[in-house]
Amino acid sequence: MHAVTVKIDRVQLVSWAPQGRTPPRVKGFQVTRDSFVRSQTTIPTYERCRHYESKENDAKIYWQYWRQKAWLKAWKITMVADDSTGLSYDEIDAVLRHCKFWHFLTIEVAIDFSHSTGVNRDFVRRHAVFGKSRRRA
């Protein structure tokens, strides 16, 4: 077991799709839910969300579709990794092969430190620098 391990923890992207196209079947995943999404703010975004779960691990996909505003892309897809394995190339590729003119909104990289490295909350407060980002109270 390595002292420091890196994983892709979450990927979010938007994609073009033909009008009215519903999310496809994704290799290695099964649909667990497909439901109406009530508007979370004053601006409605996507009307429906289809949930997928991996057949092999705990990875999940949330596929939002039926946009409510013309300026939104047709699909917004969030992939959440299994805690222990992270997202693999194949899992992301299985989604991307159904998309066209897509771009990433977020890529979340998780860096896990074993306790033997001595990295904990106090260590991070005392020693970590994340570029120009400042700590939020």
Partner 1 sequence: MPFSERAAAVRKQNKGHVLYWGGRKSDKLVRSYEKEEVNRYRVELELHSQLLRREKISTLDDFEGLIDAIYPRHIQFVDVAWDRLKRHLRRKRHGRALIAGAQHRAASLSRLRRYLRRHGISNFNRFLLPLAINKKIDRAITTFFLDFKDMP
**88 binds partner 1, rule: CB under 8 A:** yes
Strand 75-80 and strand 100-113: the pairing is unpaired
x/- binding map, residues 104-123, to partner 1, per CB under 8 A?
xxxxxxxxxxxx-x-xxxxx
DSSP letter at 21 equals P
Write out the two tokens for 136. 């939020």
Cα–Cα distance, 137 to 135 (Å, whole number): 6
**Interface of this chain with partner 1, residues 9 to 48, rule: CB under 8 A:** 9-10
Residue 88: CB minimum distance to partner 1, A: 6
Structure tokens at 78: 């969030």
Q: Which residues bind partner 1 (CB under 8 A)?
A: 2-10, 83-84, 88-89, 92-93, 96, 103-115, 117, 119-131, 133-136
